[in-house]
Amino acid sequence: MTPLLVISFLLAMVINVPIGIALAFAATLALVVFPGGIPLIILSQTLYSSIDSVILLAVPFFMLAGNLMKTGGVTRRLVVFANALVGGMAGGLGMVAVVACIFFAGMTGSGPAEAAALGILLIPSMVESNYTRGYAASLLASAGSLGIIIPPSIPMVIYSSLTDVSVGNLFLAGFLPGILIGLILMTFNYMVSSRRGYKGTGKHSLKEIGRALRGAILPLFMPLIIVGGIYGGIFTPTESAAVAVAYAMFVTRFVYRELSFADIWSISLDSATITARVLIMVSAATLFSWLLTVQGVTSAIVEPVIAMNPPPWAVLGFANLTMLVAGMFVDVFSNILILSPLLLRLMEPAGISELHFGIVATVNSDMGNITPPFGLNLFVASGAFKKSYVEVVRAIVPWLAIAIVSLMIITYVPEISLWLPKQLYPGIK
């Protein structure tokens, strides 16, 4: 059964079948041809039970909240505020792109959404300021990856559904790694801009910064409301997602007044469609992973590694290498859904925190968005910024190197992820 399972999945991927359908097709075909005593009813039961989770209810809500914020005038206000803060530095518009992505990450939970929304606003200005289009596109593609690291993060919600790690702890653990990656990107942009002569947009007075802050203050409160509400015991992580939707709808419809009720309906339909794709992928990947476990593939891969009793640094290195290679071919959700259950079995014997590994897995999987040949942000950058795919890939290479350095730091300095959660719960490991 196992060869048919793997080969049929790979063939489906080669002919460009959506990955969720490819996983479900491979599992179904394997069970039909080689039932092995497993009744076919297990298909429907596993598909249903995999998404029968209160935690996963947060996915559609966070998706909708992010889309409301993205469409309702928030992007422009965040760019104005970021420009007031850092626009005067060398490479000012590049700095604005990174800072705006950090702010925007607290609302969307989606890297490609950030890259596309901010790119539309910033790329024309960057080109007018003599930035090469390739540099501008690769910068936005890289900074957009912050969308799933800084909470709220949909991949973190999915990881939580696979483990006993709470969504709240994952959200809190994601803040410092996200800020660290943002600072590293800004440093690299400053170095390149100083060498190439990319100038800033001019210094801004405190009065101008204050005015820009007033315009952006309401959306900036969203991540604080979400995480603060969870840790204050006001609502659960799932309820926090619903609160985020209500808050986003209030801000965009009644404060900024840039969305009509017809717009909200259209955005809701789009969000429901995207959510359906994600949940199909979750259920199909769960079925696929279950079959691999039943067939003994998981044990055949994991047990020899455990028997070698590798040190923690080697286990983390193996996990990173595995997920990095997988990220070249599959999306963020599939990477986490398929590989996390497998790799988690290596973490406990090595004494590695599931919480820390959750952040490492999220950052690692997110790098797949800017990794050829199938990085989603690369295609977004190519289409939205009118550059050929090959040019974008060539321009992304130094940013990918920076991302790998950031991943290594986060991987081997676990306190970056664990320090904030430990302040609230000292017993966390």
Question: Model confidence over 291-307: pLDDT tens digits?
Answer: 877 777 777 777 888 78
**Residue 73 CA: distances (Å) to CA of 66, 77, 222:** 12, 7, 15
Asked whether the predicted pLDDT for residue 129 surpasses 90, the reply is no
Q: What is the pLDDT of residue 392?
A: 79
DSSP 164: S
Question: For residue 112, what pLDDT is reported?
Answer: 62
Calculate helix-pair angle for 167-196, 415-424, nearest 10 degrees.
Answer: 140
**Alpha-carbon dihedral angle through residues 274, 275, 276, 282, given to the nearest 10 degrees:** 120
Q: Identify the pLDDT of residue 359.
A: 95
Task: Kindly state the greatest CA–CA separation across the chain.
Answer: 73
Higher-pLDDT residue of 120, 57: 57
Residue 296 neighbours by CB under 8 Å, 6+ apart: none
Average pLDDT over residues 240-257: 89
DSSP 253: I
Give the range among 142-156, 287-301, 341-355 with minimum mean pLDDT.
Answer: 287-301
The mean pLDDT of 375-392, rounded to a whole number, is: 70
Q: Which helix (H) or strand (E) holds 67?
A: helix 58-71
Most confident of 71-85, 103-117, 132-146, 410-424: 410-424
pLDDT at 374 over 90: no
**Cβ pair 136, 377 in contact under 8 A:** no
Q: Who has greater pLDDT, 294 or 396?
A: 396
Predicted confidence at residue 381, as pLDDT, reads 67
pLDDT on residue 409: 96
* Residue 221 backbone phi and psi in degrees, to 5: -75, -20
pLDDT at residue 182, rounded to an integer: 92
Residue 118 has pLDDT above 80, yes or no: no
In angstroms, rounded to a whole number, what is the distance separating the alpha carbons of residues 364 and 373? Answer: 16
Nearest 5°: CA angle at 257, between 217 and 248? 55
What per-residue confidence (pLDDT) applies to 49? 84
Tell me what percent of the residues of the chain surpass a pLDDT of 90.
18
Instruction: Write down the mean pLDDT value for the chain.
Output: 84
The confidence score (pLDDT) of residue 116 equals 66
The mean pLDDT of 72-89, rounded to a whole number, is 85
Q: What number is the average pLDDT over the span 58-63?
A: 85
Compute CA distances 382 → 116, 119, 226, 385, 394, whole Å: 10, 11, 33, 6, 12
Cis peptide before 373 (omega within 30 of 0): yes
Which tokens go with 195? 């060498």
Q: Is the pLDDT confidence value at 396 over 80?
A: yes
Query: How confident is the model at residue 236, as a pLDDT?
Result: 84
Are 117 and 75 in contact by the 8 Å Cβ rule? The answer is yes
Give the integer Cα–Cα distance in Å for 272 and 281: 14
Give 6-25 pLDDT, tens digit per residue. 888 888 877 878 878 888 88
Q: Please give the pLDDT value at position 384.
A: 60
